[in-house]
Amino acid sequence: MRFSRLFGKTLKEKPSEADSISHQLLLRAGMVQQVATGVYSYLPLGWRALKKIEQIIREEMDKAGGQELMMPTLQPFELWEQSGRYPSFGKTLFTITDRKEHMLVLGPTHEEVITDLVRRFVQSYRDLPLLLYQIQNKFRDEPRSRGGLLRVREFIMKDLYSFHADEASLDQTYQDMLQAYANVYNRCGLPSVVVEADSGAIGGKESHEFMLIAETGEDEIIHCPKCGYAANVEKAQMTKPKAETNALLPLEEIATPNIKTIEEVAKYVGIPTSQTLKAVFYYADGQVVFAAIRGDLDINEVKLKNLLKAIELRLATDEEVKAAGLVAGSASPIGIKGIKVITDDSITMGANFVAGANKPDTHLKNVNYPRDFQVDLMADIALAHPGNSCPKCQARLASKHGIEVGHVFKLGTFLSEKLGASFLDQNGTARPIIMGCYGIGLGRLLAAAVEQNHDEKGIIWPIAIAPYHIYLCSLQTDNSEVSTAAEKVYNDLTKEHLEVLFDDRAESPGVKFNDADLLGIPLRLTVSPRTLQHQSVEVKWRNQKQAQLLPLDEIISRVKALLSQPPH
């Protein structure tokens, strides 16, 4: 491809609207262009990189036993009513009404459609297991589209769905898909980490995410350097620190004037924060919820939301707290009525806590569960932090940032039961099909690759997904000797089916080298009067500082050898 004919332009300056590294670089490199908020066109260079990612994914899904199909973007709203999932997607679900006043959904995902499809064809256990996948555009009305391709409203996604007669079959496919995903990221040249994850609005049981480690990543990964335990912070667990468990003492009311925070209470009473109970008020699906946790811990709102099976969860406003009769800064579960009380299991790890007395400027000493209060739900709703103890080996947990680039989970029979997808087992008994779901966002993976692989000059593409492998740079294009030699190198390389972007523009060396670094194509070849004096071509890897001269008459074989073993 000749740069002079390439559709798209590079930009010197960072676009003002770009709010992430990948957003900035993909726009500056002329690889994508924003059409509307959260909606992008892929220009030729960006599309070439995306298609390479797509092909790697396709090959690994086929290798794992997947069959590719294509499902429609438009989905009947009735399927979402049947599954009962439309409330959990809320306003992110794009809906339209056709001329017959029939409501349709722009598919944010395809579990409903694929389950409806499978129920029409699968009749017996002999038809299972079955792995079906597609690579298709999806739509979600994101309230805060940001980060360029990292969070958009229209995106390209590979989603594979597996269907099974028993849990053992699902377990095997789940392990196969974990390996297939690892293969995808390894082949793309993108080191990843697999972590335990929350299933989100889609639901499901066992769930894992694949993360690309990047300093700019929006996800926090809690991990153990010793045993390898890793989880998204939304899912992460820890071994909770022990607290004092002395003999239970009688309740005692104490005055705490103008003292409201846990730290202030602990200091005033002369106890560690682990001897206090923290109260936090939430608003969940139209009602105030009282959540309590030991004072040295914090509440994980994702865990709480899942425990409540809530569609919407947020902190309650001051007005909502007052209307519920709660006293901010002096609240506890003691005597609370008409409000659901949720507690972390840490309230059982200790005794004689200090908690609010449910009246202003007053606290209670020696509060104990279950002697002094009851709860509606108790579970692990604590947020894990770096420095906490690993739940598996007790070593100190650490954290790093990453970008989610893949999500796999066991859906079970939730959708098959709702949509009537069943099969006859060996005994002729009808049973719901067991399902698994496995997704990769292609555009997000492209952006994450840039977040992980760049420097101050531009993108540094891994060779497997680079738009082109070679950037051929011709300096002093008005020099006939240089032009002739560069044309010959270009023609010889393309005859060998090597991927070459030929910068044939009448631009200065500085402009060409800056664009070469910005585009991030792995191997740069330069033909100039200086190199021709030595009958050579200058060769430089994008991720290395040093260049070398290679003989002009050996350039094809030498370039092939270099591309076969790129530097890491």
Residue written as token pair 């997000």: 444
Q: Are residues 10 and 64 in the same domain?
A: yes
The full DSSP string for 171-195 is HHHHHHHHHHHHHHHHHTT--EEEE
Indicate whether 246 belongs to any domain.
no
Indicate whether 390 belongs to any domain.
no
CA distance 278 to 385: 17
350: Cβ–Cβ under 8 A, 6 or more apart, which residues?
Answer: 242, 243, 244, 245, 274, 275, 294
The CATH number given to whatever domain includes residue 481 is: 3.40.50.800
Q: Are residues 91 and 204 in the same domain?
A: yes
Q: Supply the pTM of this predicted model.
A: 0.89
Q: Are residues 229 and 289 in the same domain?
A: no
SS3 235: coil
CA distance 30 to 46: 8
Beta bridge partners of 161: 132, 437
CA distance 492 to 307: 64
Indicate whether 457 belongs to any domain.
no
CA distance 17 to 34: 10
If one counts the domains in the chain, the total is 3
Beta bridge partners of 525: 472, 539
Q: Are residues 23 and 164 in the same domain?
A: yes
Indicate whether 243 belongs to any domain.
no
Alpha carbon separation from 30 to 9, 163, 495, 518 (Å, rounded)? 5, 41, 27, 10
The CATH number given to whatever domain includes residue 18 is: 3.30.930.10
Q: Are residues 146 and 256 in the same domain?
A: no
32 backbone φψ class: left, alpha, beta (φ>0; ψ -120 to 50): beta
Q: Which one-letter DSSP state was computed for residue 348? A: G
Q: Are residues 148 and 103 in the same domain?
A: yes
Q: Measured on CA atoms in the order 94, 98, 101, 104, is the torsion positive or negative?
A: negative
Alpha carbon separation from 103 to 82, 99, 339, 430 (Å, rounded)? 14, 10, 37, 32
Q: Are residues 547 and 475 in the same domain?
A: yes
Q: Are residues 211 and 123 in the same domain?
A: yes
pLDDT per residue, tens digit, the chain (568 aa), is 999 999 999 999 999 889 899 999 999 999 999 999 999 999 999 999 999 999 999 999 999 999 999 999 999 999 999 999 998 888 999 999 999 999 999 999 999 999 999 999 999 999 999 999 999 999 999 988 889 999 999 999 999 999 999 999 999 999 999 999 999 999 999 999 999 887 654 555 789 999 999 888 889 999 999 999 999 998 999 999 888 888 999 999 999 999 989 999 999 999 999 999 999 999 999 999 999 999 999 999 999 999 998 988 999 999 999 999 999 999 999 999 899 999 999 999 999 999 999 999 999 999 999 999 999 999 999 999 999 999 999 999 999 999 999 999 999 999 999 999 999 999 999 999 999 999 999 999 999 999 999 999 999 999 999 999 999 999 987 888 999 999 999 999 999 999 999 999 999 999 999 999 999 999 999 999 999 999 999 999 999 999 999 999 999 999 999 999 999 7
Query: What is the amino acid identity at position 116?
Result: D
CA distance 272 to 263: 9
The CATH number given to whatever domain includes residue 327 is: 3.90.960.10
Contact between 265 and 277 under an 8 Å Cβ cutoff? The reply is no
Indicate whether 38 belongs to any domain.
yes
Q: Is the peptide bond before 386 cis (omega within 30 degrees of 0)?
A: no
For 351, the domain range is 252-379
Q: Are residues 113 and 229 in the same domain?
A: yes
Which tokens sit at 457? 């000059």
Query: What is the amino acid identity at position 150?
Result: L
Q: Are residues 283 and 206 in the same domain?
A: no
Q: Are residues 73 and 123 in the same domain?
A: yes
Pairing label, strands 154-164, 130-139: antiparallel
Closest CA to 269 of 366, 163, 172: 366
144: Cβ–Cβ under 8 A, 6 or more apart, which residues?
Answer: 151
Angle, vertex CA 190, rays to CA 160 and CA 406, nearest 5: 30
| b/e code 195-208 from CB counts within 10 Å (16+ = b) | bbbbbeebbbebbb
Which tokens sit at 106? 């722009």
Indicate whether 385 belongs to any domain.
no
Which tokens sit at 101? 């006043």
Residue 413 class from Cβ within 10 Å (0-12 exposed, 13-18 middle, 19+ buried)? middle
Chain center to CA of 254: 48
Closest CA to 355 of 289, 265, 281: 265
Q: Are residues 192 and 118 in the same domain?
A: yes
Which tokens sit at 191? 């080191």
Indicate whether 386 belongs to any domain.
no
